[in-house]
Amino acid sequence: MPGGRRILSRIQSASSYPSGPHKSGSGGSHTGDERENMIPLASMAVIPKHAHLPEIPGDGNFMFEVMLYAFGLIVMLLQYVHLYKTVWWLPNSHAKYALNFYLIDPYLVGFLATLMSRRLVWCFVQEIYGSSSRKGFLFWLVQLIKLVVVLAVVTLFCLTAYHVVLKHSVLYCLFLCYPTATYLMLFGPTLKPLFLRTLAWPSIINDKLGAQVKHKPKEGTDKVSPLLHACTLMPDVVREEVETLKTDFNNRVKQVLFNSMLTAYYMAFVPLCFAQNTLYYDTWWVGQHVCLAWVSAFLMLIVHFLTPKYIDLLHKCALHLGRWQKVEGRHAHVPYNAWSELQVWPQGALVKHVRGLFKAEGVNVTAEPGNSMHGRFYFLFHKPVRVINWLLILSWLLVGYLFIRLLQCTEWSHILSMALMIFCNYYVLFKLMRDRIILAKVYKDEDAAANQ
């Protein structure tokens, strides 16, 4: 029996179920009590022992937005280098600078830089207060600075957008609106995810436990409640918690996909779309730069949104959920119980469901047999280092590819591009390696305690 805090079992005996017909082993049918094919469960329900995750330093929301915005500016700068580089060192090149600056549209650059600063500005408005007292001078000074910053950004955005529309045709301007369709497909007609730096974490209200957790946010933060784990043996509460966490996880993934796509699209692809038709450039390198920008932004965002503490929360819920494995073949004489949604099933229990015969896997099982969502949730988060391992493999592949390409580069623009991109990804790789080492150690101790 796995280790854990034992309490009285909620599992009913087989005699509590109604009778029903069964087929005999010879193929004939007879009517008898269903309890003849059921096994009484004398096991005790177990609450899993959760590992204690230490505090792992992470980037604050504002610092992360600064780094993400700086990364976007670097991506845009490198794409303009690929497009407008010169051979100024040649005697007859007639170029004095490394780039043909006169070909670059300053209004387009200003428009893109202002557009991609929306998350940073919103985070600054929401999180920076200067003073906790509304009566202090510093508090109102910061509010005035916020107002000036917002007005300046809005004015700059409108001014640059106006000049871009005047200078370029309608077809070119449509390139600036394509992400709107993706946004509507992912989030629907709402503006909240467009500016949200973190996701609203709804609290899990457990009235059956007789407790309602209230979270009072600090001044200057979003008025939302954090996700909490209810360590309980009430199956309906566990399944409700799984549904809440599944929705939150899907929203985080959509945020990551959309914002990484937005960074790569506006900072790397749009400058390519607005390049002059007579301009000659290396198509392979500019296309590769768009893909590398997307993967790098994806890793930056996913590491920030899927923190170790958040993965630990999903892991705890997965331990309470468990999963069912379908037993194939005919098992007329196999002892089983009729599945009940109000029971916690121990490991190895056999239950009969409308979808077939299932065997329980996990410390205890509260999942619904045949529910594919429950199966995916348990698979992803039963082993918390699994997601980290996948991200770590992707990060190593990206850094390895950048390093190999850097060794093969001969042009100054390519060397600059690969060097800056690999430098930006080193920090993400460091965070993933650190989290992987800590989580592996923590959950190794948890598995050892569970097997005692």
In this predicted structure, which of 39-53, 298-312, 363-377 has the lowest mean pLDDT? 39-53
More confident residue, 405 or 362: 405
Given a cut of 80, whether residue 285 has pLDDT beyond it is yes
Tens of pLDDT, residue by residue over 99-121, are: 889 899 999 999 999 999 999 99
Given a cut of 80, whether residue 386 has pLDDT beyond it is yes
pLDDT of residue 333: 64
Tens of pLDDT, residue by residue over 219-272, are: 333 344 467 777 777 888 888 999 999 999 999 999 999 999 999 999 999 999
Over the chain, what is the mean pLDDT? 79
Given a cut of 50, whether residue 294 has pLDDT beyond it is yes
**212 burial via Cβ count (<10 Å: 0-12, 13-18, 19+):** exposed
**pTM exceeds 0.85, yes or no:** no
More confident residue, 19 or 154: 154
Given a cut of 90, whether residue 78 has pLDDT beyond it is yes
Given a cut of 60, whether residue 72 has pLDDT beyond it is yes
Given a cut of 60, whether residue 435 has pLDDT beyond it is yes
Tens of pLDDT, residue by residue over 8-41, are: 334 443 333 333 333 333 333 333 444 444 444 4
Helix/strand/coil (H/E/C) assignment for every residue in the chain:
CCCEEECCCCCCCHHHCCCCCEECCCCCEECCCHHHHCCCCCCCCEEECCCCCCCCCCCCHHHHHHHHHHHHHHHHHHHHHHHHECCCCCCCCCCCCCECHHHCCHHHHHHHHHHCCHHHHHHHHHHCCCCCCCCCHHHHHHHHHHHHHHHHHHHHHHHHHHHHHHHCCHHHHHCCCCHHHHHHHHHCCCCHHHHCCCCCCCCCCEHHHCECCCCCCCCCCCCCCCCCCCCCCCHHHHHHHHHHHHHHHHHHHHHHHHHHHHHHHHHHHHHHHCCCCCCCCCHHHHHHHHHHHHHHHHHHHHHHHCCHHHHHHHHHHHHHHCEEEECCCCCCCCCCEECCCCCCEECCCEEEECCEEEEEECCEECCCCCCHHHHHHHHHHCCCHHHHHHHHHHHHHHHHHHHHHHHHCCCHHHHHHHHHHHHHHHHHHHHHHHHHHHHHHHHHHHHHHHCC
pLDDT band at 206 (very low <50, low <70, confident <90, very high): very low
pLDDT of residue 50: 80
pLDDT of residue 224: 46
More confident residue, 207 or 449: 449
Tens of pLDDT, residue by residue over 322-346, are: 888 888 765 556 677 888 888 888 8
pLDDT of residue 330: 59
In this predicted structure, which of 49-53, 204-208, 328-332 has the lowest mean pLDDT? 204-208
In this predicted structure, which of 95-99, 197-201, 372-376 has the lowest mean pLDDT? 197-201
Distance CA 153, CA 140 (A): 20
pLDDT of residue 277: 85
Q: Is 38 left (phi over 0), alpha (psi -120 to 50) or beta?
A: beta
pLDDT band at 418 (very low <50, low <70, confident <90, very high): very high
pLDDT over 70, % of the chain:
78
